[in-house]
Structure 1
Amino acid sequence: MSFGKNLKEGLFTNNPVLVQLIGMCPTLATTTSVVNGVGMGLSATAVLICSNIVISLLRKFIPNKVRIAAYITVIAGFVTMIDLLLQAFIPSLSASLGLFIPLIVVNCIILGRAEAFASKNSVGASAVDGLVMGLGFTFALVIMSVVRELLGAGTIGGGLITVFSQPATIMILPAGGFLTLGFVIAVMQKLLKKGE
């Protein structure tokens, strides 16, 4: 499969958040600002690419009985690296995302791609899969973040640009996350049906 088809699948036709409906916890919790959405998306993408590569390399050596535990160990190692790098170089983002960076270890997207793809395919294909699924996750987070920050805080870019001064603060609360997610999923389904 070409990279273009893989990218289309990751971003649109098989998007982990908007089509498969997995990874909902960080999607709803970290999309209150664009900075948080981009930070979480890129962190998960880095873990996804690295863990897919290592799991693909080790797929013939990991016994079937302990494969899930082995996958989680590999993923946890990369999450720890990302968490420490964020604390060292972007402490404000690390503080803002808080517990959700360590929770990448149990993110269904990452474990699901390890089990469904990386454990059965070559290193190159697994790296591409990690990249496109990570970009799809980031794409969904950014869309949600833009809508929620704009409507809920009246700003864009973590407060860099003020658009209006009377926001609907419900949009940055959990209820706003569910409303935004439902709307974005509905739009994505409409676009996918139109594309068929």
Structure 2
Amino acid sequence: MSQSYREIAINGLWKNNPGLVQLLGLCPLLGTSNSTVNALGLALATMLVLVCSNAAVSLIRGVTQTAVRLPAFVMIIAALTTCIELLMQAFTYELYQILGIFIPLITTNCVILGRADGFAAKNGIARSAFDGLMMGIGFGLVLVVLGAARELLGTGVLFANMQLLFGPLAENWQLSLLGSDYKGFLLAILPPGAFLVLGLMIAGKNIVDQRAEARAKARQPAPEPVPSRRVRVTGVVE
């Protein structure tokens, strides 16, 4: 039975979130999340590839033989990643240089290949594209929250260098939330800080899920007691 659009959205954003539940795509998730602009740039690129690759895989699922299925999926993802790479070189070249190898590595992102093989190859174009969108948004939200938290703890500001992604319009978007006297927390913007912040995010999600499950159980009506029956034994056993 195919999933409803509501179930697809809930799975992508929360229940089966790629970053917090499936723990897929951790290499770019941890490697580029030292600032909000880096995280948002990679999140948008990944989401676009996810949506387009899911739609393309769903479109050819009926004519692709099993022996060449995975190579065909990888070629589709690689072609779309190359398109995104060329667009970033044309319009956001400085951000492209900062992200570096993580843009081409979208081709091997387990989230994209997993959704192509696990969902798009079994569902129609509309559902597949929507699944890619929701998984992309879920992955992107984790990436952006992680980048924002690390940037704030590490430098005391948010939305620094957003002009790299949005142009001169975003030059004044930077917010100094911890004051000019904040010395910064270097660990937050170093690689170990990514593991620590992501671990706290996963722990927070698990706590929310456990509390929601406990509330759901508390709202359930208590089972009615089963009336006891008295059994009368007659006769004597020798």
If the TM-score is normalised by the length of the shorter chain, which range does it land in?
over 0.9
Q: Tell me which residue corresponds to 1:176.
A: 193
Is 1:185 the counterpart of 2:202? The answer is yes
Matched residue type, 1:162: S
- Runs of 4 or more above 4 Å deviation: none
Partner-residue secondary structure (3-state), 2:21: coil
Taking only aligned residues, the RMSD between alpha carbons, in angstroms, comes to 1.1
Q: Tell me which residue corresponds to 2:55.
A: 53
CA contact (8 A) 2:5 2:127 kept: no
Provide Cα deviations, 1:63-121, integer angstroms capped at 9, x if missing partner. Answer: 10111111000000000000100110111221111110100000000000001000111
Provide Cα deviations, 1:158-189, integer angstroms capped at 9, x if missing partner. Answer: 25222332110111101101101111110011
What is the aligned counterpart of 1:162 among 160, 176, 179?
176
| Whole-Å separation in 2 of the counterparts to 1:125 and 1:195 | 28
Q: Which runs of 5+ in 2 are unaligned?
A: 162-173, 214-238
Map 1:101-112 → 2, pairs under 5 A: 101-112=103-114
| Whole-Å separation in 2 of the counterparts to 1:120 and 1:7 | 17
TM-score using structure 1 length: 0.96
Larger Rg: 2
| Whole-Å separation in 2 of the counterparts to 1:11 and 1:118 | 17
| Whole-Å separation in 1 of the counterparts to 2:210 and 2:9 | 18
Map 1:6-155 → 2, pairs under 5 A: 6-155=8-157
| Whole-Å separation in 2 of the counterparts to 1:119 and 1:2 | 17
TM-score using structure 2 length: 0.80
Q: Which runs of 5+ in 1 are unaligned?
A: none
Matched residue type, 1:73: M
Matched residue type, 1:181: L
| Whole-Å separation in 2 of the counterparts to 1:133 and 1:143 | 15
Report the alpha carbon displacement of residue 155 of structure 1 after superposing the two structures with TM.
1.2
Q: Tell me which residue corresponds to 1:5.
A: 7
Between Structure 1 and Structure 2, the one with more helix by share is: 1
